[in-house]
Amino acid sequence: MTTAEEPRLVVGLMSGTSCDGVDAVVVALRGGPAGVEPLRVEVLEHRHAPYEAAFRARLLALPDARVDEVARLHVELGRRFGEAAREALAVAGVAPERVAAVSSVGHTAVHLPPTPGDPGATLALGDGDVIAEVTGCRVLSDLRARAGAAGGQGAPLVPFADACLLREPGRVRAALNLGGIANVTVVPPDGPPIAFDTGPANMLLDGALARATGGEVAFDEGGRLGLAGTADDAWVRATLAADDFVAAPPPKSTGRERYGAAWLDARWNVLGRMSLEDLSATLAAYTVETVAVGLERFGVPVPDGRVPAGDAPAASRDAALPEDLVVSGGGAFNACLMSGLAARLPGVRVADSEAALGVPVLAREAVSFAVLADASLAGVPGNVPGVTGAARGVVLGKWSGA
C-alpha cells in the first residue's frame, strides 16, 4: 500500500499490429487518479522484446488461423507478455509486490468495427491469467472488450491517456501514433479529446517492401529508401479519393482487415512496378496525406464555421490544426514520414514523444495502458464515449491474480 506521497507503480504492455514484439514499460504515477486530477508520469524502464521471425509469421497469419492456433497464441502471448513485464521490473529494480497493476490491452487478432445491422467484434489475445502467473502481479487485461460492450468501436483507447498527458490551457495539441495503423488524438484546452484512426502507417510500408523483396527487406530503416525516392503524387491523390475510410467521419477504427495483404493485392499492378525507393516514398506520402486530411477535416471544429488560418486550401479545412503534433510508434524513426508531416502541416510543431514528453517513441501506447489501469484501479471510466461511439463511459478491463 502506498501513501499519498508515494508513486503508484504500474507496468504497461503493448503488442501492435506491426507484430514486431512486446513493449513493456514500468511507470511511476503521481497525482491523479488518472482522469480526475492532474497526473504526472515518469517512465522508469522501457524494454522491447522482439518476436522472432517464425512467431511473427504466426501472428501475421491470424486472419486465416484455425481455432486451435488462436487458442495456443492466446496462451503463448500471455507468457511472452508476462516475461517482458518481469524483465522490465527486474531492470528497473522494482519488486513485483510493489506493483499496483500490470496492464495489457492484448494483441488484436481481429477488429471488426460495427456496421448497420452488425454490432462488430474485437478479439485480443494474451491470457491475463498467464501474465499473472508469470509475474506474480495483479493484472488488468482485455481492456477493449468492456468498451465494445458499451457500444461503438471499442477503440481507440489511448485518447484517455493522451488527454491526461497533453492537456494544456489555451493550446490545441495532438498525439499521433504511427504503428501498423496511424491513429491521432486531438486534445483541446478543455472538454473531451477527439480521436480516431486516420488510416495505414507502417503496415503498408512494411508489407509492400517485404512483398517486393521476397522478405529480404522488412521495413524502411530510418526512412532512407523513402528519402531517396520520388512519390507518385497522382497515384496518392487517386487512391485517397477512392478510400472511403479516410473520408468517413469519426468514430472510426481500422486494422489489417482493411489495409493488409488484400489492399496491396488490389494495387500491386502499379506499386509492384516501382523501385523500392519510389515504393517507399509513395506509401509514406499516402500515410502523411491520410493523417493531414484527418486533422484538417475531423480535428477541433472551427468556431462559428470560420475558415482557419493556414496554407491548406479553405475547401479542405473544416478543423483547426493543432499547435503541436507529438509522434510516437515505429514510424517516428522514419525520417521520410516525419519530414513529410512537417512539410504537409506547416505551422505545426512536429516532434517525437521522447523530445516532447520524455516518453520513448515505442513506449507511448504501453504508457497509455498503464494510465488506463490507474483509472480502473480508482473506478474511473477509461473510454471516451465521443471517441469510440460508446453509449457511456465504463471502467475497463478484467482482473487476474492477487
- 207 & 314 share domain: yes
Q: Are residues 177 and 232 part of one domain?
A: yes
Q: What is the pTM of this model?
A: 0.84
**Distance between CA atoms of 121 and 147, rounded to whole angstroms?**
11
Residue 79 lies in a domain: yes
What range defines the domain where residue 92 resides? Answer: 8-159+362-400
Q: Looking at residue 16, which CATH number applies to its domain?
A: 3.30.420.40
* Beta carbons within 10 angstroms of residue 169's beta carbon: 6
pLDDT value of residue 332: 97
The predicted pLDDT at position 181 comes to: 94
Residue whose C-alpha cell is 504497461: 12
- pLDDT at 307 (0 to 100): 44
User: In this structure, is residue 3 part of a structural domain?
Assistant: no
Q: What is the H or E stretch that residue 9 is in?
A: strand 8-14
Residues 152 and 219 reside in one and the same domain: no
Q: What whole-number distance in Å separates Cα of residue 46 and Cα of residue 26?
A: 7
- Same domain as 348, residue 366: no
Beta bridge partners of 101: 10
Indicate if 38 and 122 belong to the same structural domain: yes
Quote the number of domains for the chain: 2
Do 258 and 347 belong to one domain? yes
Has residue 2 been placed in a domain?
no
Closest CA to 131 of 77, 179, 167: 77
The predicted pLDDT at position 35 comes to 81
CA angle 89, 60, 64 (to 5 degrees): 130
Domain membership of residue 1 (yes or no) is no
What's the sign of the alpha-carbon dihedral 259, 263, 267, 271? positive
- Check residue 207 and give its pLDDT: 96
341 and 373 housed in the same domain:
no
Please report the pLDDT score of residue 28 as a whole number: 97
Question: Does 231 share its domain with 257?
Answer: yes
User: 402: how many CB neighbours lie within 10 A of its CB?
Assistant: 12
Same domain for 256 and 206? yes
Same domain, yes or no: 33 and 140: yes
Is 210 within a domain? Answer: yes
Instruction: Indicate if 302 and 370 belong to the same structural domain.
Output: no
Give yes or no for a contact between 151 and 391, defined as CB atoms under 8 angstroms apart: yes
**Is the domain of 17 the same as that of 53?**
yes
User: Is 128 part of any domain?
Assistant: yes
Nearest CA-CA partner of 185 in 167, 205, 203, 206: 167
Low-confidence ranges of the chain (pLDDT < 50): 1-3, 305-315
- At residue 32, the pLDDT reads 83
For residue 234, tell me if it sits in a domain. yes
Domain for residue 321, yes or no?
Answer: yes
- Predicted confidence at residue 318, as pLDDT, reads 79
